[in-house]
Amino acid sequence: MSDVIQAEGLVKRFGETTALAGVDLSVRNGTVLGLLGPNGAGKTTIVRILATLLQPDSGRATIGGYDIMTQAHQVRQLIGLTGQFASVDENLTGLENLVFVGRLLGMPKADAKARARELLGSFKLDDAGERAAKTYSGGMRRRLDLAASLVGRPRLLYLDEPTTGLDPRARMEAWELIRGMVSGGMTVLLTTQYLDEADALADDIVVIDHGRVIAMGTPDELKAKTAAQTLAVRPVDPVHVPTVVAALSELARVEPEVDGQLVSAPVADPGVLPLLYQRLAQDGIEVTELGLRSASLNEVFLSLTGQPIEEESDDDRQ
Protein backbone atom coordinates (compact mmCIF):
# COMPACT_ATOMS: atom_id res chain seq x y z
CA MET A 1 0.00 0.00 0.00
CA SER A 2 1.55 3.29 -1.08
CA ASP A 3 -0.91 5.63 0.64
CA VAL A 4 -0.21 5.84 4.36
CA ILE A 5 -3.35 7.88 4.99
CA GLN A 6 -6.57 7.36 3.12
CA ALA A 7 -9.61 9.29 4.21
CA GLU A 8 -12.98 9.53 2.55
CA GLY A 9 -15.91 11.79 3.27
CA LEU A 10 -14.94 12.78 6.83
CA VAL A 11 -17.75 14.70 8.48
CA LYS A 12 -17.67 16.14 11.99
CA ARG A 13 -20.22 18.37 13.68
CA PHE A 14 -19.92 20.11 17.03
CA GLY A 15 -23.47 20.99 17.98
CA GLU A 16 -24.70 23.42 15.34
CA THR A 17 -21.33 23.97 13.68
CA THR A 18 -20.09 21.70 10.94
CA ALA A 19 -16.33 21.46 11.43
CA LEU A 20 -15.80 19.05 8.53
CA ALA A 21 -18.23 18.77 5.65
CA GLY A 22 -16.86 15.74 3.83
CA VAL A 23 -13.08 15.71 3.52
CA ASP A 24 -11.13 13.30 1.29
CA LEU A 25 -7.38 12.99 1.75
CA SER A 26 -4.58 10.69 0.82
CA VAL A 27 -0.94 10.89 1.77
CA ARG A 28 1.69 8.92 -0.11
CA ASN A 29 4.32 6.99 1.79
CA GLY A 30 7.43 9.06 2.53
CA THR A 31 5.94 12.40 1.54
CA VAL A 32 4.80 15.53 3.34
CA LEU A 33 1.22 16.65 2.96
CA GLY A 34 0.54 20.25 3.92
CA LEU A 35 -2.95 21.03 5.16
CA LEU A 36 -3.29 24.74 4.53
CA GLY A 37 -6.11 26.90 5.79
CA PRO A 38 -7.09 29.75 8.09
CA ASN A 39 -7.95 29.43 11.76
CA GLY A 40 -11.12 27.43 12.23
CA ALA A 41 -10.99 25.84 8.78
CA GLY A 42 -11.03 22.35 10.28
CA LYS A 43 -7.34 21.44 10.07
CA THR A 44 -6.99 20.48 13.71
CA THR A 45 -10.22 18.48 13.58
CA ILE A 46 -8.81 16.45 10.69
CA VAL A 47 -5.59 15.75 12.62
CA ARG A 48 -7.50 14.81 15.76
CA ILE A 49 -9.65 12.37 13.81
CA LEU A 50 -6.66 10.82 12.03
CA ALA A 51 -4.84 10.54 15.38
CA THR A 52 -7.83 8.60 16.88
CA LEU A 53 -8.53 11.38 19.41
CA LEU A 54 -11.90 12.17 17.87
CA GLN A 55 -14.44 10.03 16.04
CA PRO A 56 -15.91 11.33 12.80
CA ASP A 57 -19.72 11.48 12.51
CA SER A 58 -19.42 9.84 9.12
CA GLY A 59 -16.79 8.88 6.60
CA ARG A 60 -13.89 6.51 7.04
CA ALA A 61 -10.13 6.61 7.18
CA THR A 62 -7.27 4.15 7.31
CA ILE A 63 -3.72 4.68 8.51
CA GLY A 64 -1.25 2.18 7.10
CA GLY A 65 -4.25 0.03 6.21
CA TYR A 66 -5.72 0.10 9.75
CA ASP A 67 -9.15 1.59 10.34
CA ILE A 68 -9.09 4.59 12.68
CA MET A 69 -12.37 3.59 14.34
CA THR A 70 -12.14 -0.18 14.71
CA GLN A 71 -8.35 -0.58 14.88
CA ALA A 72 -7.42 2.55 16.80
CA HIS A 73 -4.86 0.73 18.93
CA GLN A 74 -2.95 -0.39 15.83
CA VAL A 75 -3.14 3.10 14.36
CA ARG A 76 -1.65 4.57 17.57
CA GLN A 77 1.39 2.34 17.15
CA LEU A 78 2.16 3.95 13.79
CA ILE A 79 1.71 7.61 14.57
CA GLY A 80 3.47 10.41 16.42
CA LEU A 81 1.58 13.55 17.35
CA THR A 82 2.91 17.05 17.92
CA GLY A 83 0.72 20.05 18.09
CA GLN A 84 -1.14 22.76 19.82
CA PHE A 85 -3.03 20.14 21.76
CA ALA A 86 -0.59 17.26 22.30
CA SER A 87 1.98 18.49 24.73
CA VAL A 88 4.61 17.59 27.28
CA ASP A 89 4.35 17.83 31.06
CA GLU A 90 5.70 21.22 32.09
CA ASN A 91 6.57 20.06 35.59
CA LEU A 92 8.92 17.32 34.39
CA THR A 93 12.39 17.85 32.97
CA GLY A 94 13.01 17.33 29.28
CA LEU A 95 14.69 14.02 30.01
CA GLU A 96 11.89 12.82 32.29
CA ASN A 97 9.28 13.68 29.68
CA LEU A 98 11.00 11.56 27.05
CA VAL A 99 11.73 8.69 29.44
CA PHE A 100 8.06 8.81 30.50
CA VAL A 101 6.87 8.33 26.92
CA GLY A 102 9.45 5.61 26.30
CA ARG A 103 8.34 3.70 29.41
CA LEU A 104 4.70 3.99 28.36
CA LEU A 105 5.65 2.50 25.03
CA GLY A 106 7.04 -0.51 26.89
CA MET A 107 10.77 0.23 26.68
CA PRO A 108 12.92 -1.06 29.53
CA LYS A 109 14.27 1.74 31.73
CA ALA A 110 17.80 1.72 30.28
CA ASP A 111 16.52 1.76 26.69
CA ALA A 112 14.06 4.56 27.43
CA LYS A 113 16.89 6.63 28.94
CA ALA A 114 19.22 5.95 26.02
CA ARG A 115 16.53 6.89 23.50
CA ALA A 116 15.73 10.06 25.48
CA ARG A 117 19.40 11.13 25.52
CA GLU A 118 19.71 10.41 21.81
CA LEU A 119 16.66 12.57 21.02
CA LEU A 120 17.77 15.38 23.33
CA GLY A 121 21.05 15.37 21.44
CA SER A 122 19.54 15.47 17.98
CA PHE A 123 17.17 18.27 19.03
CA LYS A 124 19.94 20.34 20.64
CA LEU A 125 18.46 20.02 24.10
CA ASP A 126 21.36 18.15 25.79
CA ASP A 127 22.07 21.04 28.13
CA ALA A 128 18.43 21.56 29.02
CA GLY A 129 17.64 17.89 29.64
CA GLU A 130 17.76 18.21 33.43
CA ARG A 131 15.63 21.36 33.57
CA ALA A 132 11.85 21.50 33.98
CA ALA A 133 10.10 22.00 30.65
CA LYS A 134 8.31 25.08 32.00
CA THR A 135 11.64 26.95 31.95
CA TYR A 136 12.08 26.32 28.20
CA SER A 137 11.74 28.97 25.50
CA GLY A 138 9.00 28.60 22.90
CA GLY A 139 11.36 27.07 20.37
CA MET A 140 12.79 24.61 22.90
CA ARG A 141 9.28 23.57 23.93
CA ARG A 142 8.38 22.77 20.33
CA ARG A 143 11.57 20.77 19.92
CA LEU A 144 10.79 18.80 23.06
CA ASP A 145 7.21 18.23 21.85
CA LEU A 146 8.62 16.98 18.58
CA ALA A 147 11.14 14.74 20.35
CA ALA A 148 8.37 13.29 22.53
CA SER A 149 6.36 12.34 19.45
CA LEU A 150 9.37 10.56 17.95
CA VAL A 151 10.30 8.35 20.94
CA GLY A 152 8.49 5.34 19.44
CA ARG A 153 9.95 5.89 15.95
CA PRO A 154 6.56 6.44 14.30
CA ARG A 155 6.08 5.83 10.58
CA LEU A 156 3.72 8.78 10.33
CA LEU A 157 4.08 12.10 12.07
CA TYR A 158 1.34 14.69 12.58
CA LEU A 159 2.58 18.23 13.00
CA ASP A 160 -0.22 20.59 13.93
CA GLU A 161 0.92 24.18 13.30
CA PRO A 162 4.52 23.41 14.30
CA THR A 163 5.77 26.99 13.97
CA THR A 164 2.79 29.11 15.04
CA GLY A 165 4.00 31.59 17.64
CA LEU A 166 7.71 30.99 17.01
CA ASP A 167 10.14 33.78 16.17
CA PRO A 168 11.67 33.68 12.67
CA ARG A 169 14.89 32.01 13.79
CA ALA A 170 13.16 29.27 15.76
CA ARG A 171 10.87 28.84 12.78
CA MET A 172 13.79 28.24 10.42
CA GLU A 173 15.27 25.76 12.90
CA ALA A 174 11.97 23.90 13.05
CA TRP A 175 11.87 23.73 9.26
CA GLU A 176 15.37 22.27 9.19
CA LEU A 177 14.38 19.61 11.72
CA ILE A 178 11.29 18.68 9.74
CA ARG A 179 13.28 18.47 6.50
CA GLY A 180 15.76 16.22 8.24
CA MET A 181 13.03 13.85 9.42
CA VAL A 182 11.48 13.65 5.98
CA SER A 183 14.80 12.85 4.36
CA GLY A 184 14.97 10.00 6.87
CA GLY A 185 11.91 8.53 5.17
CA MET A 186 9.13 9.60 7.51
CA THR A 187 5.66 10.46 6.24
CA VAL A 188 4.37 13.77 7.60
CA LEU A 189 0.98 15.44 7.77
CA LEU A 190 1.57 19.10 8.46
CA THR A 191 -1.03 21.76 9.15
CA THR A 192 -0.22 25.40 8.73
CA GLN A 193 -1.71 28.83 8.19
CA TYR A 194 1.31 29.95 6.19
CA LEU A 195 1.64 29.42 2.49
CA ASP A 196 5.42 29.81 2.57
CA GLU A 197 5.66 27.06 5.18
CA ALA A 198 3.56 24.65 3.11
CA ASP A 199 5.60 25.68 0.08
CA ALA A 200 8.92 25.08 1.84
CA LEU A 201 8.06 21.73 3.39
CA ALA A 202 5.21 19.98 1.60
CA ASP A 203 5.24 17.70 -1.44
CA ASP A 204 1.50 18.13 -1.79
CA ILE A 205 -0.83 20.77 -0.42
CA VAL A 206 -4.51 20.50 0.42
CA VAL A 207 -6.26 23.81 0.99
CA ILE A 208 -9.10 23.67 3.51
CA ASP A 209 -11.79 26.22 4.15
CA HIS A 210 -15.00 25.88 6.16
CA GLY A 211 -14.42 22.15 6.55
CA ARG A 212 -14.06 21.50 2.83
CA VAL A 213 -11.15 20.85 0.50
CA ILE A 214 -11.12 23.79 -1.90
CA ALA A 215 -7.91 23.04 -3.77
CA MET A 216 -5.13 20.47 -3.87
CA GLY A 217 -1.95 19.85 -5.77
CA THR A 218 1.80 20.24 -5.58
CA PRO A 219 2.99 23.67 -4.43
CA ASP A 220 3.88 24.52 -8.03
CA GLU A 221 0.50 23.47 -9.39
CA LEU A 222 -1.22 25.45 -6.70
CA LYS A 223 0.88 28.51 -7.28
CA ALA A 224 0.31 28.27 -11.03
CA LYS A 225 -3.40 28.00 -10.39
CA THR A 226 -3.45 30.90 -8.00
CA ALA A 227 -0.51 32.96 -9.31
CA ALA A 228 0.87 32.87 -5.85
CA GLN A 229 3.68 35.39 -6.34
CA THR A 230 3.81 38.99 -7.35
CA LEU A 231 6.71 40.57 -9.22
CA ALA A 232 7.07 44.27 -8.56
CA VAL A 233 9.39 46.75 -10.32
CA ARG A 234 9.85 50.47 -9.68
CA PRO A 235 11.99 52.25 -12.29
CA VAL A 236 13.94 55.29 -11.13
CA ASP A 237 12.81 57.37 -14.07
CA PRO A 238 9.04 57.62 -14.75
CA VAL A 239 9.64 57.67 -18.53
CA HIS A 240 10.70 54.02 -18.32
CA VAL A 241 7.35 52.86 -16.97
CA PRO A 242 5.88 51.95 -20.41
CA THR A 243 9.03 49.94 -21.31
CA VAL A 244 8.86 48.07 -18.01
CA VAL A 245 5.16 47.38 -18.51
CA ALA A 246 5.86 45.98 -21.96
CA ALA A 247 8.71 43.77 -20.73
CA LEU A 248 6.78 42.46 -17.74
CA SER A 249 3.61 41.79 -19.70
CA GLU A 250 5.62 39.78 -22.20
CA LEU A 251 7.37 37.71 -19.53
CA ALA A 252 4.45 37.24 -17.14
CA ARG A 253 1.89 36.92 -19.94
CA VAL A 254 -0.58 39.12 -18.08
CA GLU A 255 -1.30 42.84 -18.17
CA PRO A 256 0.70 44.38 -15.27
CA GLU A 257 -0.87 46.75 -12.80
CA VAL A 258 0.58 50.26 -12.66
CA ASP A 259 0.44 52.24 -9.46
CA GLY A 260 2.35 55.49 -9.93
CA GLN A 261 5.85 54.27 -10.78
CA LEU A 262 5.30 50.78 -9.37
CA VAL A 263 4.64 48.09 -11.96
CA SER A 264 3.50 44.70 -10.68
CA ALA A 265 2.11 41.46 -12.05
CA PRO A 266 1.24 38.06 -10.63
CA VAL A 267 3.68 35.41 -11.81
CA ALA A 268 3.50 31.64 -11.54
CA ASP A 269 7.16 30.99 -12.33
CA PRO A 270 9.80 32.67 -10.15
CA GLY A 271 12.21 32.30 -13.11
CA VAL A 272 10.62 35.43 -14.52
CA LEU A 273 12.63 37.52 -12.05
CA PRO A 274 16.15 36.90 -13.50
CA LEU A 275 14.79 37.22 -17.03
CA LEU A 276 13.30 40.59 -16.25
CA TYR A 277 16.50 41.66 -14.53
CA GLN A 278 18.51 40.81 -17.65
CA ARG A 279 16.10 42.69 -19.86
CA LEU A 280 16.23 45.79 -17.67
CA ALA A 281 20.04 45.65 -17.57
CA GLN A 282 20.23 45.40 -21.36
CA ASP A 283 17.97 48.42 -21.77
CA GLY A 284 19.95 50.33 -19.14
CA ILE A 285 16.90 50.90 -16.95
CA GLU A 286 17.72 51.61 -13.32
CA VAL A 287 15.26 50.50 -10.66
CA THR A 288 14.78 51.39 -7.00
CA GLU A 289 12.76 48.25 -6.33
CA LEU A 290 12.72 44.86 -7.97
CA GLY A 291 11.39 41.82 -6.20
CA LEU A 292 9.26 38.76 -5.95
CA ARG A 293 6.82 38.66 -3.12
CA SER A 294 4.96 35.49 -2.04
CA ALA A 295 1.25 35.81 -2.10
CA SER A 296 -0.23 35.82 1.35
CA LEU A 297 -2.63 33.07 2.26
CA ASN A 298 -5.29 35.73 1.96
CA GLU A 299 -4.43 36.30 -1.68
CA VAL A 300 -4.45 32.58 -2.43
CA PHE A 301 -7.84 32.38 -0.81
CA LEU A 302 -9.04 35.35 -2.74
CA SER A 303 -8.07 33.71 -6.00
CA LEU A 304 -9.44 30.29 -5.01
CA THR A 305 -12.74 31.35 -3.49
CA GLY A 306 -13.23 34.87 -4.78
CA GLN A 307 -13.57 35.88 -1.13
CA PRO A 308 -11.06 37.00 1.45
CA ILE A 309 -10.50 34.80 4.50
CA GLU A 310 -13.33 35.18 6.94
CA GLU A 311 -11.94 35.66 10.39
CA GLU A 312 -14.36 35.46 13.27
CA SER A 313 -13.50 39.01 14.26
CA ASP A 314 -14.57 40.25 10.83
CA ASP A 315 -18.19 39.80 11.83
CA ASP A 316 -18.04 42.76 14.20
CA ARG A 317 -16.49 44.98 11.60
CA GLN A 318 -19.63 45.27 9.50
Partner 1 sequence: MTTVNEVRPRVGPWEGLQQTLTIAWRTLVQIRHNPFELGDFSFQPIMFVLLFTYVFGGAIEGSTSGYLRFALPGIIVMNMIFVTMYVGMGLNTDLTKGVFDRLRSLPIARWAPLAGRIAADLLKQAWSIALLLGVGYLLGFRLGTGIVGLAVATVLILFFALAFSWISVLVGVTARDPEKVQILGYTALFPITFVSNVFVRTDTMPGWLQAVVKANPVSQLSDAVRGLLIGGPVAQPALYSILWAIGIMAVFAPLSLYRLKKRV
Instruction: Summarize as ranges the residues that interact with partner 1 (CB under 8 A).
Output: 48, 51-53, 64, 66, 71, 73-74, 76-79, 81, 83-93, 96, 100-101, 103-108, 111, 115, 132, 148-149, 152-153, 155
Q: Minimum CB separation from partner 1 for residue 106, in Å?
A: 7
Q: Is the Cβ–Cβ distance between 174 and 162 less than 8 Å?
A: yes
* Between 190 and 300, CB nearer to partner 1: 190
Q: Minimum CB separation from partner 1 for residue 282, in Å?
A: 58
Nearest to 190 by CA among 51, 26, 82, 35: 35
* Between 93 and 230, CB nearer to partner 1: 93
Distance from C-alpha of 138 to C-alpha of 261, rounded to nearest angstrom: 42
Q: Minimum CB separation from partner 1 for residue 79, in Å?
A: 7
Query: Which three-class secondary structure state does DSSP give residue 129?
Result: coil
The DSSP code for 135 is G
* Between 100 and 194, CB nearer to partner 1: 100
Q: Minimum CB separation from partner 1 for residue 74, in Å?
A: 5
Q: Is the Cβ–Cβ distance between 166 and 194 less than 8 Å?
A: no
* Between 21 and 132, CB nearer to partner 1: 132
Q: Minimum CB separation from partner 1 for residue 281, in Å?
A: 54
* Between 88 and 295, CB nearer to partner 1: 88
Q: Minimum CB separation from partner 1 for residue 111, in Å?
A: 4
Phi first, then psi, for residue 119 (nearest 5°) are -70, -40
Q: How many helices (H) and strands (E) does the chain have?
A: 12, 14
Nearest to 271 by CA among 257, 290, 250, 292: 292
* Between 87 and 296, CB nearer to partner 1: 87
Q: Residue 174 is inside which H or E element, if any?
A: helix 168-183
* Between 105 and 290, CB nearer to partner 1: 105
From the CB of residue 114, how many other CB atoms can be counted at a distance below 10 Å? 14
Q: Minimum CB separation from partner 1 for residue 303, in Å?
A: 35
Distance from C-alpha of 260 to C-alpha of 262, rounded to nearest angstrom: 6
Q: Is the Cβ–Cβ distance between 84 and 158 less than 8 Å?
A: no
* Between 78 and 262, CB nearer to partner 1: 78
Q: Minimum CB separation from partner 1 for residue 310, in Å?
A: 27
Q: Is the Cβ–Cβ distance between 124 and 176 less than 8 Å?
A: no
β-partners of residue 12 are: 20
* Between 76 and 171, CB nearer to partner 1: 76
Nearest to 145 by CA among 155, 32, 164: 164
Q: Minimum CB separation from partner 1 for residue 85, in Å?
A: 5
Q: What sign does the CA torsion over 278, 281, 283, 285 have?
A: positive
